[in-house]
Structures are given as structure tokens and as C-alpha cells.
Amino acid sequence: MKRYGKVIKIKPDKLDYYKKIHANPWPEVVTAIYECNVRNFSIYYRDGYLFSYYEYIGKDYDADMKKLSKLTKDWLQETDPCQTPVESAKKDEWWAEMEEVFHTD
Amino acid sequence: MKRYGKVIKIKPDKLDYYKKIHANPWPEVVTAIYECNVRNFSIYYRDGYLFSYYEYIGKDYDADMKKLSKLTKDWLQETDPCQTPVESAKKDEWWAEMEEVFHTD
């Protein structure tokens, strides 16, 4: 299992909508996350930032992430316009990967 | 079980030390975290921010957090000077609690 922590900015005028849609996520999105071997997935908000944490239990992360993007295409069309990548994000990075500096079970 | 996501800033000149000390955390700190009913605790870094995620499995969060502060007093004397609370943090808040906007198992 591999843990991921990621960060992105949220547009202030889109925060309410983002929270609303995530309070009742589409069942097919929740199913897709599970099918793509992502577990224990949380998103947190504060001060214009969204932070996400999840655990990946599959064997081909890139393939599963590609599959997840496809399966959740309609959902991402709703949520992507709410977000802005952080300044340091790589060219093809949306949510920017953070560095794990500590972990204990 | 209750999940927590928290955020704090790290002083740029203290980042290396913070990462170094967390790469080999003191055993008594790891034990204290466990004894105080905190599980699956990770800290992530990016762009001057630290994000922490953990799961609390106890019954008296405030009491356990007070106990944890006491047990890790010497450790916090090393790590606190590395950090600066975010601007929106409450007066008595160090790590600032984030709002959970999404979760799926």
C-alpha cells in the first residue's frame, strides 16, 4: 500500500459548489475510486487550499489513475473548474504531490 | 474513529532540520502517539506548508491530546520553533484544523 498526500487551490467563488457536490458525491464516482484501488480517501479544506489523502492498494498506479480519470470524466468537468494548481505544480500536474516527511501506524 | 486533517507553515530555514528529525523520530514519541490513541499519522510537505492526517480511535480526544503534548514535550521543543501557525489559526491553535469536505473508504 502506498499513501498519497496532494494539494491544490480552490477558487474562492467555487468553494460552496465544491463542498456541495462533495457532500453528496455521485455513486458512480465513489464506485470508480474503489474500482481503481484507491482507499481511505479524504479531502480537507482551509484557507483556499484543498488537501487530499488516500491509500493506493493496486499494482499499476499510472494505469489505475488513467482509468479513474476516464471513469470520472463527467465529475471532473464539474470539479476541475473549481480548482487552480499550486504555482509549483509541474506542467502536467493537477493536484500536486506532497512529500511524506513522517508516518507512523 | 475520527479523522483529522491539519495544516501549519514551516519556516524555510528549518525545513531541512524538520525533515531530518522526522526521518528518524524518537521511539518515545512514536510510542506516545500510539498510547494516545492516534493511528495512521502522516505529515506531508509542499511549498512551505505541512499537512498532517491522522485517525483518532480513543474516547476522550482533549484528554489524549493533552497527554500527548506532555509526553512529547521535549520533541515539541525541537519541532515547534520550526513552525508558524497559518494566519487564520485561532489564538490557542498551533496546527490549524481543516474541514473535511469529502471522504470515501
Q: What's the alpha-carbon Rg for chain A, to the nearest Å?
A: 14
Q: Which residues neighbour A60 within 8 Å (Cβ) at sequence distance 6 or greater? A: none
User: How far apart, in whole angstroms, are the C-alpha atoms of residue B30 and residue B71?
Assistant: 10
CB contact under 8 Å between B47 and A88, yes or no, is yes
- Identify any residues that bridge with A43 across adjacent strands, giving them in sequence order: A52, B102
User: Given an 8 Å threshold on Cβ–Cβ distance, is B99 in contact with A46?
Assistant: yes
State residue B43's pLDDT score: 98
Chain B CB within 8 Å of residue A81 CB: no
The CATH homologous superfamily to which domain B2-87 belongs is Dimeric alpha+beta barrel. (3.30.70.1090)
- Give the gap in angstroms from C-alpha B62 to the nearest C-alpha of chain A: 21
CB contact under 8 A, A44 and B88: no
DSSP3 helix / strand / coil % (chain A, rounded to 5): 40, 35, 25
Q: Which of A46, A40, A41, A57 is nearest to A8 (CA)?
A: A46
Q: Which residues of A touch B39 (CB under 8 A)?
A: 105
Tell which B residues from 48 to 77 touch A, by Cβ distance under 8 Å.
Answer: 49-51, 53
pLDDT of residue A76: 98
> CB distance from B47 to chain A under 8 Å?
yes
For residue A35, the 8-state DSSP code is H
Domain ranges in chain A are 2-87
Could you tell me if residue A39 is left (phi over 0), alpha (psi between -120 and 50 degrees) or otherwise beta? beta
What's the mean pLDDT in A16-31? Answer: 98
Write the CA distances from B33 to A25, B28, B48, integer angstroms: 33, 9, 25
- Spell out which residues of chain B touch residue A100, defining contact as CB-CB under 8 Å: 42-44
Per 3-state DSSP, chain B is made up of helix, strand and coil in percentages (nearest 5) of 40, 35, 25
Query: Terminus-to-terminus CA distance in chain B, angstroms?
Result: 13
Q: What is the pLDDT of residue B62?
A: 97
**pLDDT tens-digit series, residues B23-70:** 999 999 999 999 999 999 999 999 999 999 999 999 999 999 999 999
**Contact assignment for A42 to B103 by CB distance below 8 Å:** yes
What is the mean pLDDT of the segment spanning A78-91? Answer: 97
Nearest to B3 among A18, A42, A104 (CB): A42
Q: How many residues does chain A have?
A: 105
Are A41 and B103 in contact by the 8 Å Cβ rule? The answer is: yes
The residue in chain A having the minimum alpha-carbon distance to the alpha carbon of residue B22 is A102
User: Taking a C-beta distance cutoff of 8 angstroms, is the pair A5, A53 a contact?
Assistant: yes
B64-84 mean pLDDT: 98
The mean pLDDT value for A92-100 works out to 96
